[in-house]
């Protein structure tokens, strides 16, 4: 048709396409830019950067940021990246100074911002992130940041374990470990050493019997070692043994012994020494073990591989930077900011005076709720997803039931969180008698809230497992249970982890359901059991946001938001690590 | 400093000392630590009473105290609870800010909390609910508040209002523009920011200023003083009211209106509220302990401590921004409390 009437090609206007492209670009950066602006202000408030003198900023820029960027550039070893970084860091200085002074002259002063801060957030932070990313692709950077990550992650893990032991009974854990987990683990180990002994299959019954024995003994045994010894025996030693076992397979007994024993000895010594400095010895022990063993394993592996060993100096470089910076600031007397988010903020209780106010009880409350929610929603969510994907028929009454459940789950995902709060209040707090505002009630309520998200993401992950794998397993004579256990779940695990942890991120920030179930706004001491009434970070932050003193609304609230974000980022990082690990298997 | 680091330190030192002593013994045999109440906490029996007594390094009292109620009394209660908990680390106090009415009907009168804070006396319907559930209580005056009416800093015409004018502004059948209140004032819409209906502040304002005329619906209702201040700073023709403490801490953000109850305009302040000049908007704040809970020693001790602190100028006036009780009123409250404790 067109060929008959049309005699020449017409130029098609590209205007609409181009406009659409840029509108899409605008849409995609709109939220990010606004959120970034908010976070910049929150961090300025939380760390009191508005009162940081330019000399103070410059000192730490030179002692901390410049060496870090230098390390990254050395590791990336790419002229183009070096040039770009130099341009951004050098040019950004001029640009931000000029633009900011211009804006201030024309429009008026901008509250709590100065050009060094603009330079810091607009140029230095993104450039540093970019060089870290680039360095991580290469061996030296990978080693450096791998070590740094293990240090930070291990510390966070140690603190989290310490927090959980505030609530969960260490004595029961010791008994369960001694009589259940340890024999079971030994059975598995023996089974792998002598495959024909058949010990592996006996591990599960041994473990279950041990756990039952432990629960029974806990009721009758009146005397226990101190918590410190319990932590050495039932937390530190297994972690050290695990680290040693990882190394033993590849690098022989001497390396394995040193990887296991050195951090253990350091941790125990550190735990004793900590008491002398007024630090909590149990926490120090846990942190040194959880950080020390992975670090030792990592160093041992790096030294054996012999590649990028120079990267191991990164933590020392950063620590030295902080130290030198602090010395210079102290010596020259530069006015330093007084951050709201400091060690005392995360270790002390709420207070009526902003300077003394702390978030400790709420942090512990949130961590405990999230730990319970993680267990509950993982078990329930994965269970439902496996049933819906693997065990249901497409037709008959079973098929109809499946479709009904499916539709309901999809709809439940859209139910407002306040409604789940009401459900929790009626069902868990009142009917089942779990108590108003207790950790158990909160955890069950939040688990229900995120359950639809967990189920749907787990279903997607299971659905993504290729059918050929299942058929192959069936073809070899495996039952449906064996196929699910050995083929489908391991394959789907990364996706399930990702979905679950993203859902947990939503749970940790929820306030409305907690208000409904009667969680406290403020508590002054950390909960000591899962049945005690607790507060959570969002509840306390919300209460502070309404305090009359401006220091609460700007400083303390900002510090709380930063803490919440850091915990959230920590959780997401865990998700990524778990996903990568389980993908590697 | 607040209680926790000290608490952590004492406990950890003790634990460390026992650990050091213990480590020596464990080299030969298993060392034991007998200060452990067997089977506490892990039974899953849903027990809520404080069983962490063995952890309390200092102080003999132990147990939980649950407090809910008025957001106006919340800062005062947290301030006093903070000090009490610092001295008695075995006592766990939790405080929720639910509004006076919400606290009575959802928590206190069903027996869930030990104290309920209120910025107005308990209502008849709440009394019935409490007696239906056999919850007995005693009414204690906690402090005096000067309910503060605020306007924008640029507003120079309404800095003094008579009670009738205030009623004209806030009544259901009242004015919609400033010129309707006073013909010399600008012909601009009145923007109103006030307390939500669940709030005791709303009830008090309604009763003291409006009487039978009823509160207008044409206003932004909130429990958050912050929201009211933001609304009022945003518009020259806005007006709002809330408890005194917010204005006390932020006197530059908004302007307080001087109220004329027939004896000339009086500005809200700690002095005018305590000497009775600031009428009709100075009001008592209350807390209601449950008599049954007062039977427990740690609750009774906390209630005594609370009444003792109500004359403490440092806490009540400087830190929180309310008017402390006079010694005379405090004695009355204390004898009322002691009566209730002896009944319990």
B4 touches A348 (CB < 8 A)? yes
Most B CBs within 10 A among A170, A214, A226, A539, hence the mutation to make, goes to A226
Rg (CA), chain A: 28
**pLDDT of A136 above 70:** yes
Structure tokens at B252: 């530059």
3-state secondary structure of B91: strand
Chain B contact for A543 (CB, 8 A cutoff): yes
Chain B residues whose beta carbon lies within 8 Å of the beta carbon of residue A211? none
Confidence of residue A281 (pLDDT cuts 50, 70, 90): confident
Tally of CB atoms within 10 A around A278 = 13
Confidence of residue A250 (pLDDT cuts 50, 70, 90): confident
**Domains in chain B: how many in total?**
2
Q: What pLDDT shows up at residue A506?
A: 87
Residues B160 and B256 in one domain: yes
Distance from CA of B72 to the nearest CA of A (A): 10
Q: What pLDDT shows up at residue A494?
A: 86
Residue in A226, A531, A545 nearest the CB of B48: A531
Lowest-pLDDT range of A93-102, A172-181, B40-49, B183-192 = B40-49
Q: What pLDDT shows up at residue A64?
A: 92
Residues B86 and B124 in one domain: yes
Residue A495 within a domain: yes
Q: What pLDDT shows up at residue B117?
A: 94
**pLDDT of B4 above 80:** no
Tally of CB atoms within 10 A around A580 = 11
Portion 149-188 of B in contact with A at CB < 8 A: none
Q: What pLDDT shows up at residue B17?
A: 43
Residue B274 within a domain: yes
Q: Note down the domain range covering A194.
A: 169-222
Phi first, then psi, for residue B240 (nearest 5°) are: -150, 170
Q: What pLDDT shows up at residue B65?
A: 92
Q: What pLDDT shows up at residue B53?
A: 38
Between CA B78 and CA A555 the distance in angstroms is 19
Most A CBs within 10 A among B91, B96, B110, hence the mutation to make, goes to B96
Residues B109 and B175 in one domain: no
Chain A residues whose beta carbon lies within 8 Å of the beta carbon of residue B66? 436, 520, 533
Q: What pLDDT shows up at residue A272?
A: 85
Mean pLDDT over B302-311 rounds to 93
Which tops the pLDDT comparison, A257 or B324? B324
Between CA A399 and CA A390 the distance in angstroms is 12
Give the list of residues 6+ apart from residue B239 with CB closer than 8 angstroms, or none.
B149, B150, B151, B158, B169, B190, B191, B192, B193, B232, B257
Q: What pLDDT shows up at residue A546?
A: 82
Beta-carbon separation of B94 and A437 below 8 A? yes
Mean pLDDT over B203-231 rounds to 87
Residue A25 within a domain: no
Residues B158 and B79 in one domain: no
Between CA B38 and CA A52 the distance in angstroms is 53
Portion 240-259 of B in contact with A at CB < 8 A: 245-246, 248-250
Q: What pLDDT shows up at residue B31?
A: 40
Residue A349 within a domain: no
Beta-carbon separation of A350 and B2 below 8 A? yes
Q: What pLDDT shows up at residue B3?
A: 41
Last residue of a domain, one of B264, B280, B296: B280
**pLDDT of B30 above 70:** no
Mean pLDDT over A156-181 rounds to 87
Last residue of a domain, one of B280, B312, B328: B280
Q: What pLDDT shows up at residue A171?
A: 86
**Domains in chain A: how many in total?**
2
B68 touches B113 (CB < 8 A)? yes
Q: What pLDDT shows up at residue A59?
A: 92
Residue A81 within a domain: no
- Dump the DSSP string for B206-259: IIIIIGGG-B-SSSEEES-HHHHHHHHHH-TTEEEEE-HHHHHH-TTTSEEPEE
**pLDDT of A350 above 60:** yes
Give the model confidence (pLDDT) of B171-191 as tens digits: 988 888 999 988 899 999 999
**pLDDT of A200 above 80:** no
Give the list of residues 6+ apart from residue B55 with CB closer than 8 angstroms, or none.
A528, B11, B90
Chain A residues whose beta carbon lies within 8 Å of the beta carbon of residue B16? 228, 272, 274-275, 281
Portion 267-326 of B in contact with A at CB < 8 A: 315, 319-321
Mean pLDDT over A105-115 rounds to 84
Rg (CA), chain B: 24
Which tops the pLDDT comparison, A328 or A198? A328
Tally of CB atoms within 10 A around A442 = 35
Residue B161 within a domain: yes
Residues B130 and B164 in one domain: no
If residue B160 lies in a helix (H) or strand (E), which one and from where to where? strand B160-162
**pLDDT of B8 above 80:** no
Last residue of a domain, one of A183, A198, A222: A222
Between CA A366 and CA A355 the distance in angstroms is 22
Residue B57 within a domain: no
Confidence of residue A7 (pLDDT cuts 50, 70, 90): low
Mean pLDDT over B150-164 rounds to 91
Q: What pLDDT shows up at residue A199?
A: 74
Last residue of a domain, one of B280, B302, B326: B280
Confidence of residue B48 (pLDDT cuts 50, 70, 90): very low
**pLDDT of A279 above 90:** no
Chain B residues whose beta carbon lies within 8 Å of the beta carbon of residue A436? 66, 107, 112
Tally of CA atoms within 13 A in the half-sphere of A80 that contains its CB:
1
Structure tokens at A499: 């979905």
**pLDDT of B222 above 50:** yes
Between CA A54 and CA A47 the distance in angstroms is 15
Mean pLDDT over B300-322 rounds to 90
Chain A contact for B6 (CB, 8 A cutoff): no
Between CA B40 and CA B32 the distance in angstroms is 17
DSSP class of residue A75? Answer: H
**pLDDT of A545 above 50:** yes
For chain A, the average pLDDT equals 87
Confidence of residue A584 (pLDDT cuts 50, 70, 90): low
Mean pLDDT over B6-19 rounds to 45
A166 touches A307 (CB < 8 A)? no
Strands B91-95 and A522-523: antiparallel
A399 touches B9 (CB < 8 A)? no
What CATH number is attached to the domain comprising A454?
1.10.3720.10
Q: What pLDDT shows up at residue A151?
A: 92
Residue B49 within a domain: no
ipTM of the complex: 0.76
Give the model confidence (pLDDT) of A35-57 as tens digits: 999 999 999 999 988 888 888 99
Tally of CA atoms within 13 A in the half-sphere of A408 that contains its CB:
9
Lowest-pLDDT range of A237-241, A304-308, A430-434, B235-239 = A304-308
Beta-carbon separation of B18 and A218 below 8 A? no
What CATH number is attached to the domain comprising B226?
3.40.190.10
Portion 504-523 of A in contact with B at CB < 8 A: 518-523
Between CA A503 and CA A451 the distance in angstroms is 8
Lowest-pLDDT range of A487-496, B12-21, B35-44, B259-268 = B35-44
Q: What pLDDT shows up at residue A548?
A: 81
Mean pLDDT over A484-511 rounds to 88
Residue B45 within a domain: no
Beta-carbon separation of A518 and B3 below 8 A? no
Portion 14-73 of A in contact with B at CB < 8 A: none
Confidence of residue A6 (pLDDT cuts 50, 70, 90): low
Q: What pLDDT shows up at residue A4?
A: 54
Beta-carbon separation of A524 and B81 below 8 A? yes
Residue B35 within a domain: no
Q: Note down the domain range covering B161.
A: 148-280
Peptide bond into B4 cis (omega under 30): no
Between CA A240 and CA A299 the distance in angstroms is 15
Mean pLDDT over A1-21 rounds to 75
Q: What pLDDT shows up at residue A27?
A: 92
For chain B, the average pLDDT equals 81
Residue A328 within a domain: no
Residue B66 within a domain: yes
Phi first, then psi, for residue B252 (nearest 5°) are: -90, -15
**pLDDT of B43 above 70:** no
Q: What pLDDT shows up at residue A5?
A: 57
Q: What pLDDT shows up at residue B23?
A: 43
Residue A337 within a domain: no
Mean pLDDT over B219-248 rounds to 88
3-state secondary structure of A91: helix
Residue B190 within a domain: yes
**pLDDT of A218 above 90:** no
Structure tokens at A104: 């201030």
Nearest in space to B177 (alpha carbons), one of B257, B238, B247 = B238
Residues B276 and B152 in one domain: yes
Residues B155 and B252 in one domain: yes
């Amino acid at each position: 048709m067109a060929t008959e009437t049309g005699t020449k090609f017409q130029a098609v206007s590209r205007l609409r396409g181009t406009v659409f492209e840029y509108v899409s670009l605008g849409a995609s950066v709109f939220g990010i830019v606004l959120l970034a602006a908010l976070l910049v202000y929150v961090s300025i408030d939380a760390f009191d950067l508005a009162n940081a003198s330019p000399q103070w900023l410059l000192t730490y820029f030179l002692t901390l940021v410049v060496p870090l960027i230098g390390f990254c550039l050395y590791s990336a070893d790419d002229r183009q990246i070096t040039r770009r970084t130099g341009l951004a860091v050098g040019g950004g200085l001029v640009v931000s100074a000029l633009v900011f002074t211009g804006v201030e002259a024309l429009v008026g002063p901008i509250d709590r911002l100065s050009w060094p801060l603009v330079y810091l957030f607009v140029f230095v932070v993104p450039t540093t992130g970019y060089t870290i990313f680039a360095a991580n692709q290469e061996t030296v950077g990978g080693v450096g940041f791998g070590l740094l990550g293990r240090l930070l992650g291990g510390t966070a893990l140690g603190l989290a374990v310490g927090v959980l032991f505030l609530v969960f009974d260490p004595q029961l854990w010791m008994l369960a470990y001694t009589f259940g987990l340890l024999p079971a683990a030994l059975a598995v180990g023996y089974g792998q050493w002598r495959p024909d002994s058949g010990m592996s299959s006996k591990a599960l019954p041994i473990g279950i019997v041990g756990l039952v024995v432990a629960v029974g003994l806990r009721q009758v045994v009146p005397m226990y070692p101190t918590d410190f010894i319990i932590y050495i025996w039932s937390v530190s030693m297994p972690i050290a043994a695990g680290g040693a076992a990882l190394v033993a397979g590849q690098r022989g007994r001497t390396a394995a012994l040193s990887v296991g024993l050195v951090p253990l000895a350091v941790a125990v010594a550190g735990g004793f020494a900590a008491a002398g400095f007024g630090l909590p010895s149990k926490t120090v022990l846990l942190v040194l073990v959880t950080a020390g063993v992975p670090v030792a394993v990592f160093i041992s592996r790096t030294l054996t591989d012999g590649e990028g060993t120079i990267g191991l100096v990164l933590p020392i470089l950063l620590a030295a930077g902080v130290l030198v910076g602090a010395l210079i600031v102290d010596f020259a007397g530069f006015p330093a900011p007084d951050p709201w988010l400091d060690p005392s903020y995360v270790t002390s209780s709420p207070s009526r005076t902003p300077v003394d106010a702390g978030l400790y009880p709420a942090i512990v409350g949130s961590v405990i709720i999230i730990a319970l929610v993680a267990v509950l929603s993982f078990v329930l969510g994965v269970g439902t997803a496996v049933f819906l994907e693997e065990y249901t028929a497409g037709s008959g009454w079973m098929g109809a039931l499946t479709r009904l459940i499916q539709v309901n789950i999809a709809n439940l995902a859209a139910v407002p969180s306040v409604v789940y709060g009401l459900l929790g209040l009626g069902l868990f707090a009142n009917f089942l008698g779990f108590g108003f505002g207790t950790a158990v009630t909160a955890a069950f309520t939040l688990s229900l809230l995120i359950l639809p998200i967990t189920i749907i993401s787990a279903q997607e992950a299971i659905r993504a497992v290729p059918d050929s794998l299942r058929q192959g397993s069936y073809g070899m004579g495996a039952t449906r249970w064996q196929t699910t256990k050995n083929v489908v779940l391991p394959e789907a695990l990364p996706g399930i982890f990702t979905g679950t942890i993203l859902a947990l991120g939503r749970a940790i920030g929820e306030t409305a359901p907690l208000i409904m179930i009667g969680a406290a706004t403020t508590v002054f001491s950390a909960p000591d059991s899962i049945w005690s009434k607790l507060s959570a970070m969002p509840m306390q932050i919300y209460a502070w946001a309404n305090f009359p003193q401006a220091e609460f609304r700007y400083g303390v609230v900002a510090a709380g938001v930063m803490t919440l974000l850091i915990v959230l980022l920590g959780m997401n990082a865990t998700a990524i690590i778990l996903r990568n690990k389980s993908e590697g298997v | 400093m607040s209680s926790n680091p000290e608490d952590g330190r004492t406990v950890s030192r003790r634990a460390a000392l026992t650990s050091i002593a213990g480590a020596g013994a464990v080299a030969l045999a298993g060392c034991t630590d007998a200060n452990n109440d067997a089977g506490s906490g892990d039974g899953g029996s849903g027990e809520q009473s404080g069983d962490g007594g063995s952890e309390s390094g200092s102080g003999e009292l132990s147990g939980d105290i649950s407090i809910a109620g008025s957001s106006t009394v919340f800062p005062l209660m947290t301030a006093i609870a903070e000090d009490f908990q610092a001295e008695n680390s075995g006592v766990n106090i939790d405080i929720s800010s639910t509004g006076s009415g919400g606290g009575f009907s959802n928590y206190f009168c069903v027996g869930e909390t030990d104290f309920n804070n209120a910025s107005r006396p308990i209502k008849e319907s709440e009394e019935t609910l409490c007696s239906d559930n056999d919850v007995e209580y005693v009414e204690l005056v906690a402090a005096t508040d000067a309910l503060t009416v605020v306007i924008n800093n640029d507003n120079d015409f309404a800095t003094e209002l008579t009670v009738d004018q205030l009623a004209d502004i806030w009544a259901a059948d009242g004015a919609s523009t400033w010129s309707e209140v006073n013909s010399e004032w600008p012909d601009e819409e009145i923007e109103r920011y006030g307390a939500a209906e669940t709030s005791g502040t709303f009830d008090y304002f309604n009763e003291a200023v409006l009487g039978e005329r009823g509160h207008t619906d044409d206003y932004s209702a909130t429990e958050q003083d912050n929201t009211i201040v933001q609304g009022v700073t945003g518009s020259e023709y806005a007006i709002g009211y809330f408890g005194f403490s917010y204005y006390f801490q932020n006197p530059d953000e908004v302007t307080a209106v001087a109220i004329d109850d027939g004896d000339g305009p009086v500005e809200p302040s700690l002095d005018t509220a305590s000497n009775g000049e600031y009428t009709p908007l100075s009001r008592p704040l209350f807390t209601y302990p449950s008599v049954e809970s007062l039977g427990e020693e740690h609750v009774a001790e906390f209630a005594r401590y609370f009444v003792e602190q109500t004359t403490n100028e440092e806490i009540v006036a400087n830190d929180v921004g309310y008017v402390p009780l006079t010694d005379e009123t405090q004695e009355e409250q204390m004898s009322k409390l002691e009566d209730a404790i002896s009944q319990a």
